Amino acid sequence: MAPRSVKIVEVGPRDGLQNIKNIVPTHTKIELIRRLAKTGLSVIESTSFVSPKWVPQLADGPQVLTGLQAIISTSDTISFPVLVPNVKGLELACHNGAKEIAVFVSASEGFSRKNINCSVEESLVRVQAVATKARILGVKIRGYVSCIFADPYDGPTKPSQVIKVTQALLQAGCYEVSLGDTTGVGTVAEVELLLNEMLKVVPADKLAGHFHDTYGQAIANVIKSYDMGLRTFDSSVAGLGGCPFAKGAKGNLATEDLVYTMEKLGIQTGVNLGQVVAIGSWISQELGIPNSSRAGAALAVH
């Protein structure tokens, strides 16, 4: 029998850092990604090419990518996608050496307007334009759907809306769509309800789980999703992060917690837990914030 395994998409340098108020030095961001690249991770989302006025923390995207060029251009086992909201972001990312991007669309109107200043329909048109250009440039695209369970402004999200946006992203050319519980409010009951409907029309291998851990539900939601067929999960070292446009939302599931749980379940991640724990301790110290990973904090003192 083939060993059971999952793919982890590390989003700390992007989703994690975007919510840190004090500007993190560019060299620290580059060092974080360099260290993560030695742990066995195969995908590290590295920065954003969004408006610097909207997310000042990631205004140094060009410098971060330039600083990583030696790794990006020589590594054929690790990809370093960057988040882009429009064609301008795509062009800037490519100009600075990106080979893969991630686009993002909300399943709900309120968050779409607050996050990217347009409606869901308009954002899908933008994504189509980005996808067309990315194809010409030979750049891979991953997609995100935000607010899969609830929107901080509009309340609960209907599964049918999440499915519609997911299908639109796949049709536009995304190789995979990551389902984002942006505010981390979902529980296993909501995961089951959504995936029961979603998996009737979208294959599990086209989906990933992106669970923020605001209410401590993320690891349970991963296990439920795994049991229902998903094999790719996003996480953030030290549980860094949140979204500046979803007030109160905490960081993603911590990478240390995800690797720890998977190892205990006999599911391979290819990621070295001890090394990620050390990176989680280091970056928390650099940022002067508590380590949000339960496993990370526990293992760091052993």
* Contacting positions for Mg ion (CB under 5 A): 15
Q: Which is nearer to Mg ion, 67 or 161 (CB)?
A: 161
The option from ligand HMG, Mg ion, none interacting with 86 (CB < 5 to 8 A, set by class) reads ligand HMG
Helix (H, G, I), strand (E, B) or coil at 94: helix
The option from ligand HMG, Mg ion, none interacting with 250 (CB < 5 to 8 A, set by class) reads none
**Least distance to ligand HMG from the beta carbon of 40, Å?**
23
**Least distance to Mg ion from the beta carbon of 180, Å?**
5
What are the backbone dihedrals phi and psi of residue 87, each rounded to the nearest 5 degrees, phi first? -65, -35
The option from Mg ion, ligand HMG, none interacting with 295 (CB < 5 to 8 A, set by class) reads none
The Cα 277–Cα 3 span in angstroms is 24
Helix (H, G, I), strand (E, B) or coil at 271: coil
* Region 226-265 residues binding ligand HMG, contact defined as CB under 6 A: 243, 245
The Cα 300–Cα 278 span in angstroms is 7
The option from ligand HMG, Mg ion, none interacting with 41 (CB < 5 to 8 A, set by class) reads none
The option from ligand HMG, Mg ion, none interacting with 89 (CB < 5 to 8 A, set by class) reads ligand HMG
Do 91 and 121 meet the contact criterion of CB atoms below 8 Å apart? no
- 208 strand-pairing partners: 178
**Least distance to ligand HMG from the beta carbon of 257, Å?**
17
The Cα 200–Cα 74 span in angstroms is 40
Could you please report the per-residue DSSP string of 159-183? HHHHHHHHHHHHHHT-S-EEEEETT
Query: Distances from the Cα of 260 to the Cαs of 40, 201, 234, 257, in angstroms?
Result: 14, 32, 14, 5
Q: Which is nearer to ligand HMG, 65 or 299 (CB)?
A: 65
Q: Which amino acid does the sequence have at 113?
A: R
Check residue 144 for interaction with ligand HMG (CB under 6 A): yes
Which of these segments, 113-121, 185-193, 222-230, 276-284, binds ligand HMG (CB under 6 A)? 113-121
- Token look-up 């409907």 returns 197
Residue from 6, 49, 283, 297 in contact with ligand HMG (CB under 6 A): 49
Give the Cβ contact number of residue 189 at 10 Å: 9
Active site residue 94: no
The Cα 7–Cα 11 span in angstroms is 13
Which of these segments, 112-120, 127-135, 186-194, 257-265, binds ligand HMG (CB under 6 A)? 112-120
The Cα 12–Cα 31 span in angstroms is 13
| Residue whose C-alpha is closest to residue 68's, from 96, 38, 101, 103 | 96
Do 211 and 217 meet the contact criterion of CB atoms below 8 Å apart? yes
Which of these segments, 33-41, 86-94, 201-209, 276-284, binds ligand HMG (CB under 6 A)? 86-94
Q: Which is nearer to ligand HMG, 52 or 216 (CB)?
A: 52
Q: Which is nearer to ligand HMG, 54 or 267 (CB)?
A: 54
Q: Which residues are catalytic?
A: 243
In the complex, the residues that contact ligand HMG under the rule CB under 6 A are 15, 18, 48-52, 54-55, 83, 85-86, 88-89, 92, 104, 115-117, 144, 146, 180, 182, 210, 212, 243, 245
